[in-house]
Amino acid sequence: MSSAAVVVRGADGSTVRIDRFPAVLGRYQDGAPSTLDCDLSALDPESKVSRQHVSLDLKEGRLVVTDLDSSNGSMLDGRRLKPNVPAVAGAKSVLRVGPVELHLELEGGGNAEARTPSPAATAPPKSAPPPQSPPAAGDGGTSAFVSQVFRAFADPAITHLVVEPGTKVRLRRAGEWGQTGSGVVTAKAWNALWEQLCRLTSSDPSSGGYVATLSNEAVLVEVFRPPLTARPVLVAQRRPTPVGLRNLAAAGVLDASSVAGLQQVVARGEGVLITGIARSGRTSMLEALIDEVPRGARIVVVERRPAIRTVSPQAVRVRSAAGHGEAAVEAALALSPDWIAVDDALPGAAAAATWMLPGGGISVILAARTGDAAAWRARAVDILAAHDVDRVAAAQEIAGHLPISVSMAPHEGRFRVEQIERLETTAIAN
């Protein structure tokens, strides 16, 4: 019996099978890295589909559709969806996102398997170094094309790559977009590339949405296929090498003496809250702490888009379509982690980590976009106290899960650590 999935049909009858959940349906702009804002992109010449328009998820064997506060709204079986309010679809439903109409059909609905995530939804991403000479795929021209793409994956000077049938390969080098000198990508060449990618990552060729990491965790590849795009599109993005705590100290971001202290914090499994406004270096600090997690410990990283740079081989990336509060912790717990890291975390994530992990055993690192760490923590206490928990007890419990606070701030065109402190529970209980 097959794992639960959703089949999406376009108006022209073309189909795609989704078996990784939650999946975010949105819109990409041709050739731009905004493709990475969603899992699946709809063809929308009028640009009325939001970049993150709706999420599709399976809950207890049922397909759940949620409008993500889109600009032009969504309709499910003729009913307008309320923003951020989940709606249960039927076994066969019609979903309209902006001007785009899609037909949804649930496979395996109502059986036991449909109530558990499929292996594809929960397995860590595969990783394999790109071969310099991939197996021949058809004629010499097709094989040369596949080799050309994989050489681009291995070229550190190329930061973005877009491959689409009917156009030339587009790439970004030194901040400038350009095209390769070769001819347009044929359907035969595209199919050869797709088959090679699936072989490398042990992926199902029938999967419509596809994400993999190649070249020793350096290159992220996403593929979008019809009917959610007019033609299949591959987008690859290279991440810079993580900075690390020692390099942050060398750059003057934090004191050298603080490096050992933060390493000890992570080694003891103590939770950390990183706070700061935009461009304050929160994400760089989050990346550095992730890479300090002891080898062998499984860490699930919840991010809005593939932006976290890490060399940790045990880091598993997920997205939380329902937001970065309580839902982010729920998404991470589905993968049985030893550590949870959430970027752009909301106060609800701290509260959820407390009531969902009462016995400890799972450590948490949260990076929150705020210039007022005390107010952020106080809001987390309010959320936890609303669950019939005494406010003083709520403050103490949150402090137990997040005892360390790292405050970041912009500084002279870069950023720096303003303060590292151990939380006093009474400070947020009052």
Using an 8 Å Cβ cutoff, are 283 and 376 in contact? no
Q: Residue 135 — pLDDT band, cuts 50, 70, 90?
A: very low
Which range, 84-93, 173-182, 340-349, has the best average confidence (pLDDT)? 340-349
Structure tokens at 291: 């890479």
- CATH class, domain 5-118, is mainly beta
pLDDT at 37: 57
Q: Is the model's pLDDT at 356 over the cut of 80?
A: yes
Residue 381: the pLDDT is 94
User: Residue 111: what pLDDT?
Assistant: 31
Torsion angle of C-alpha atoms 253, 290, 331, 215, degrees rounded to 10: 110
**Strand-strand pairing, 23-26 and 54-59:** antiparallel
* Long-range CB contact pairs, 139-145, < 8 A, 24+: 141/189, 142/186, 142/188, 142/189, 142/192, 143/192, 145/182, 145/185, 145/189, 145/192, 145/193
Report pLDDT for 370: 94
- Domain 5-118 and domain 245-429, same fold? Reply is no
245-429: CATH superfamily: P-loop containing nucleotide triphosphate hydrolases (3.40.50.300)
- Whether residue 217 is predicted with pLDDT greater than 50 in this model: the reply is no
**Exposure pattern of 180-190 as b/e (b: 16+ CB <10 Å)?**
beeeebeeebb
Task: Tell me: pLDDT of 166 over 50.
Answer: yes
Torsion of CA 159, 165, 168, 171, to 10 degrees: 0
Q: Write out the two tokens for 23.
A: 């999946």
Most confident residue range from 55-69, 246-260, 261-275, 299-313? 261-275
Q: What is the pLDDT of residues 13-23, one digit of tens each?
A: 667 778 778 88
The fold of 127-238 is Beta-Lactamase (3.30.450)
Q: What is the domain partition of the chain in residue ranges?
A: 5-118, 127-238, 245-429
| Residue (of 101, 94, 40) closest to 63 by Cα position | 94
Residue 211, CA distances (Å) to 123, 127, 207 in order: 12, 11, 10
Q: How far, in Å, CA of 325 to CA of 327, rounded?
A: 5
Cα dihedral 386, 392, 398, 401 in deg (nearest 10) = -140
Q: How far apart are CA 238 and CA 30, in angstroms?
A: 18
Please answer whether residues 97 and 25 qualify as being in contact, where contact means their C-beta atoms are separated by less than 8 angstroms. Answer: yes
How many angstroms separate the CA atoms of 11 and 380, rounded?
Answer: 45
Which of 22-36, 39-53, 71-85, 168-182 has the largest mean confidence?
71-85
What CA–CA distances, in Å, run from 267 to 16, 47, 292?
Answer: 44, 48, 8
User: Cβ distance 349 to 325 under 8 Å?
Assistant: yes
Nearest to 33 by CA among 154, 160, 158, 173: 160
pLDDT at residue number 273: 97
Query: pLDDT value at position 403?
Result: 95
Question: What's the confidence (pLDDT) of residue 30?
Answer: 47
Return the minimum-mean-pLDDT range out of 81-90, 186-195, 351-360.
351-360
Confirm if 133 and 143 have CB atoms less than 8 A apart. no
The predicted pLDDT at position 29 comes to: 52
Q: Residue 213 and residue 190: Cα distance in Å, rounded?
A: 19
Work out whether strand 127-128 and strand 74-76 pair parallel, antiparallel, or are unpaired: unpaired
Kindly tell me if the per-residue pLDDT of 272 is higher than 50. yes
Is it the case that residue 348 has pLDDT exceeding 50? yes
Of residues 219 and 264, the one with the higher pLDDT is 264
Least Cα distance to 342 among 274, 394, 243, 293 occurs for 274
Half-sphere exposure of 306 (CA within 13 A, CB side): 25
> What is this structure's pTM?
0.53
Length of the chain: 430
Distance CA 276, CA 238 (A): 26
